[in-house]
């Protein structure tokens, strides 16, 4: 079977990470990057050795003079690919929709900033992998929703979740988007936040409510959970269930998102990325069937492995989500355990507890 040909529109916070992620997958090839002709990010993509396409023919000759690897326009890229990863800012994907729908068999995957109604399906690797097979326009849910889904999935598969409530303390923006960050303010949602609805688009029948507050920080989100299980559990059982799930790290000794960000840099992660959710073990409290915990979510990188999985799911490259998750995580260096890889129906004894735990706790 030939490799999936992937194109990326937009080479910003998400686009550059996805380019690197696709580039190391053995069953995919990165065909090219497209963006505005005046975007400095295209120069960065050129330095990485990627082929460049511009989203408009205006100034094409001038762009070619400073970007030697330019191959043509956005439409030229679309003719060469199987999947487009649209990494443009919220609202922009709709501007290209007519052009994209004119390309037969093209699959377009957009990010969580788009509304669920703008796509045929929403996606999370662990909860609805096979539901997006054959769909042409798919949304990978947002960073906070991805983290929430992973955490609650782990508890639901082990114990059953009766209901849950999550409070999100959100960093206001990525580090480069300073104009969006309140300098001296906490900005709460007025009523429920959208995150519970977002999670329910991929994790149906889960009783979940959410609220959020934006704060002036750029290190990442912190999510506080109160979860009512369908039966009693011990703290040890909760930790074991969380450690069994890929892309989840249970760690001790780190008390803040600043310390967490520094630790991942010291571990050698490029850009300091942490696509795993980090569960603060000290925050974990269990009282009968009620679990309370805090986790950290890195908004710049958490959806990257899910997006790679979405490519395989949409093109029916496998119907086993755990096969795709393992393939993605091995290529990205996320999974570092010598234990056999864990799907949801395998025993805790053979589980794939994340090898990063030892490094983060040392």
Catalytic residues: 143
Contact status, residue 131 vs residue 160, Cβ threshold 8 Å: no
CA gap 359, 66 in Å, rounded: 43
Helix-helix angle 13-23:304-314, to 10 degrees: 60
- Output Rg (C-alpha) for the chain, integer angstroms: 20
Contact status, residue 196 vs residue 207, Cβ threshold 8 Å: no
Contact status, residue 42 vs residue 33, Cβ threshold 8 Å: yes
Q: What is the DSSP letter of 190?
A: S
SS3 38: coil
Contact status, residue 330 vs residue 222, Cβ threshold 8 Å: no
Q: Can you spell out the DSSP letters for 304-326?
A: HHHHHHHHHHHTTS-S-HHHHHH
Q: What is the DSSP letter of 2?
A: P
Residue 4, token pair as written in the block: 């999936």
- Nearest CA to 304 out of 5, 19, 4 is that of 19
Side-by-side strand order, sheet with 4-9: 70-73, 52-54, 28-35, 4-9, 83-86, 107-110, 137-140, 121-123
Contact status, residue 143 vs residue 299, Cβ threshold 8 Å: yes
Chain centroid to Cα 20, Å, comes to 14
Q: Can you spell out the DSSP letters for 124-152?
A: -TTTSGGGGTT-SEEEEPPHHHHHHHHHH
Residue 349, token pair as written in the block: 């004894």
- Nearest CA to 218 out of 186, 255, 177 is that of 177
Give me the count of residues in the chain.
362
């Amino acid at each position: 079977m030939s490799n999936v040909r992937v194109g990326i529109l937009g080479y910003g916070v998400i686009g550059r990470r996805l380019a690197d992620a696709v580039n190391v997958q053995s069953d995919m090839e990165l065909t090219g990057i497209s963006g505005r002709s005046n975007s400095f990010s295209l120069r960065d993509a050129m330095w990485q050795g990627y082929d460049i396409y511009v989203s408009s023919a205006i100034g094409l000759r001038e762009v070619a003079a400073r970007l030697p690897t330019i191959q043509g326009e956005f439409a030229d890229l679309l003719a060469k690919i199987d999947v487009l990863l649209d990494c443009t800012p919220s609202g922009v994907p709709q501007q290209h929709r007519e052009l994209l729908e004119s390309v037969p068999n093209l699959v377009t995957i957009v990010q969580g900033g788009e509304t669920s109604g703008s796509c045929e399906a929403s996606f999370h690797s662990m909860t609805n992998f096979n539901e997006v097979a054959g769909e042409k326009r798919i949304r990978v849910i947002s960073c906070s929703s991805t983290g929430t889904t992973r955490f609650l999935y782990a508890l639901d598969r082990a114990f059953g979740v009766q209901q849950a409530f999550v409070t999100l303390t959100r960093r206001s923006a990525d580090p480069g988007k300073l104009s969006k960050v309140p300098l001296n303010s906490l900005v709460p949602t007025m009523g429920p936040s959208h995150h519970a609805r977002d999670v329910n688009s991929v994790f149906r029948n889960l009783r979940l409510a959410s609220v959020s507050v934006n704060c002036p920080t750029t290190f990442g989100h912190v999510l506080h959970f109160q979860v009512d299980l369908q039966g009693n559990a011990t703290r040890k059982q909760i930790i074991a269930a969380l450690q069994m799930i890929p892309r989840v790290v249970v760690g001790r000794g780190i008390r803040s998102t600043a310390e967490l960000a520094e630790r991942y840099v010291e571990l050698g992660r490029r850009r300091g990325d942490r696509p795993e959710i980090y569960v603060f073990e000290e925050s974990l409290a269990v009282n009968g069937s009620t679990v309370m915990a805090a986790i950290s979510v890195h908004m710049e990188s958490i959806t990257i492995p899910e997006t790679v999985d979405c490519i395989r799911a949409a093109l029916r490259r496998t119907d086993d989500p755990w096969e795709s998750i393992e393939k993605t995580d091995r290529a990205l260096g996320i999974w570092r355990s010598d234990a056999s890889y864990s799907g949801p129906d395998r025993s805790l004894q053979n589980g794939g507890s994340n090898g990063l735990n030892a490094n983060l706790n040392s």
